Structure formats: C-alpha cells, structure tokens
C-alpha cells in the first residue's frame, strides 16, 4: 500500500527536519507533503530542501491545510503527522498490518512525549486510555485513514479548533478503527513553555466545551487568547 504522509506546519523550522527524517527512515517509501499555514520562518525553504512537496495555504487552519494536501495525495493510505512529532520505527508496518484486515478503515497511535518528567508518563497513559475507550483521536497521535474513505467523508471540517476530534468521530461512524502501539513521539514543548497543569486544563476545557456544543470559533478564541 502506498502511504502519503501529510504534515501541517506553521513556523516549524526547529522541528520539521526531524519529523521528515523519521518518515524517510521507515522501511517503506512514502510520499511526503508539507502543507504550510503562512509560516514566517524558514519552514517552507527547509521542506523543499528536504524534497517534500509543499502546499502554501496562506492561513493557519488545520482542516483546510490537511484537505488541500489530501486532494493531491497519491497514496492509498493518508497519515496525518504533526510537524513537531516523529514516527517510531515500524509505524508503516503497523498501519499496513491493520488495514490489510478489511474491517478497519483507519485509526491512530499511542503517543510518547519527549520530556523526561514523570508527569509526562501520566499524561501519556491517561491520553492513551481516553483514546482507546472513546475512539476519539487527536492530531498528535498520527491519525491515518484509507484515502477512499477520506474522500467519502469529504475530508476534515475546516473548524477553528477541534477539527481532528470532529474528524475522528465521523470516521468512527463509518467503520471500525484501530488504536495501534506506535508510538508517535511528540514534542512536550507546549507543556514545557506554557506550564503542564495550565496546558492540561486548557486542553480539557476545550474538549469539554466542544462536547457541550460551544462554537469552535469561541473555543479557539479562549484557547489561544485571541480571535481566530
């Protein structure tokens, strides 16, 4: 199965090379598409130097960035990977083994944070349990899906926030999904920079607000501290 790896980016010059290298070192060739949301640093230049295909959206909207890249992707499988994340070895083999079982249409992975604090191990375990029990997949867990199903779904909703959560819900309504061991190795920079408890509270609040039907634009405004 041909895999297209779609990487949404915005000012990711410090992380992008590691992300792309983790894709290149898999035992399986893959198409790599970086979809940029208006970076002001060298993200685009770096992506091109690393021989990734680049799409420039000009605005920071996760759903729109992913949809534009998926529209030109040639793979039978689409894997959405955040620019500050990396693939552990053997990820592609896990995807193929699961999707060779016709009952599955997609899924996501366990996540490992780069930080060494014991609190991060708690976050990993709690997040894994939540994803496994609810089948709600966040973007930093490497959502993957059959390209044919993605087309049937008409892609991601172009929401101000929670596009990944909304997408995973619709994906689960169409068929069975699988939560794989992975892991996706994700940067702990948000927790490091903004404070662990503060960040955990913001994420939990945003998820609860979305589940209660609060408008994504308002959630985004409060979450990011500015109007979307």
Question: For the residues 153-159, what does the mean pLDDT come to?
Answer: 97
User: Which of the two residues, 57 and 225, has the higher pLDDT score?
Assistant: 57
pLDDT of 224: 86
Residue 30 sits in a domain of what CATH number?
3.90.550.10
The answer to whether position 221 is within a domain reads no
Buried b / exposed e across 173-186, counting CB within 10 Å, b at 16+?
A: eeeebbbbebbbbb
The answer to whether position 215 is within a domain reads no
Question: For the residues 44-67, what does the mean pLDDT come to?
Answer: 96
What predicted TM-score, i.e. pTM, was given to this entire model?
0.95
pLDDT of 225: 78
SS3 of residue 57 by DSSP: coil
The answer to whether position 176 is within a domain reads yes
pLDDT of 54: 98
The answer to whether position 117 is within a domain reads yes
pLDDT of 209: 95
Question: For the residues 152-181, what does the mean pLDDT come to?
Answer: 97
Q: What share of the chain is helix, strand, coil (3-state, %, to 5)?
A: 45, 20, 30
* Angle, CA of 45, 42 and 227, to the nearest 5°: 125
Average pLDDT of the chain? Answer: 95
Total domains in the chain come to 1
Q: 105-149, pLDDT tens digit by residue? A: 999 999 999 999 999 999 999 999 999 999 999 999 999 999 999
The pLDDT of residue 19 is above 70: yes
Q: How far apart are CA 50 and CA 88, in angstroms?
A: 19
The pLDDT of residue 226 is above 90: no
Q: How far apart are CA 138 and CA 26, in angstroms?
A: 22
The answer to whether position 15 is within a domain reads yes
The answer to whether position 171 is within a domain reads yes
Residues of the domain holding 7: 3-188
pLDDT of 228: 42
């Amino acid at each position: 199965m041909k895999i297209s790896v779609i990487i949404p980016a915005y000012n990711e010059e410090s992380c992008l090379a590691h992300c792309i290298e983790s894709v290149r070192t898999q035992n399986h060739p893959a198409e790599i598409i970086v979809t940029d949301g208006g970076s002001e640093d060298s993200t685009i230049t770096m992506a091109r130097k690393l021989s990734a295909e680049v799409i420039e959206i000009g605005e920071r909207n996760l759903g729109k960035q992913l949809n534009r890249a998926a529209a030109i992707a040639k793979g039978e499988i689409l894997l959405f990977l955040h620019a500050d994340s990396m693939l552990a070895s053997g990820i592609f083999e896990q995807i193929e083994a699961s999707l060779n079982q016709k009952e599955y249409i997609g899924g996501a992975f366990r996540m490992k944070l780069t930080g060494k604090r014991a609190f991060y191990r708690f976050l990993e375990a709690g997040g894994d349990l939540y994803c496994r029990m609810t089948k709600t997949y966040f973007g930093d867990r490497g959502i993957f899906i059959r390209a044919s199903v993605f087309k049937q779904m008409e892609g991601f909703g172009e929401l101000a926030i929670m596009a990944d959560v909304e997408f995973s819900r619709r994906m689960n309504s169409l068929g069975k999904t699988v939560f794989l061991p992975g892991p996706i190795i994700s940067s702990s920079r948000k927790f490091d920079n903004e404070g662990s408890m503060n960040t955990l509270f913001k994420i939990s609040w945003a998820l609860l607000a979305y589940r209660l039907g609060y408008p994504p634009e308002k959630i985004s405004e409060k979450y990011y501290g500015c109007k979307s």
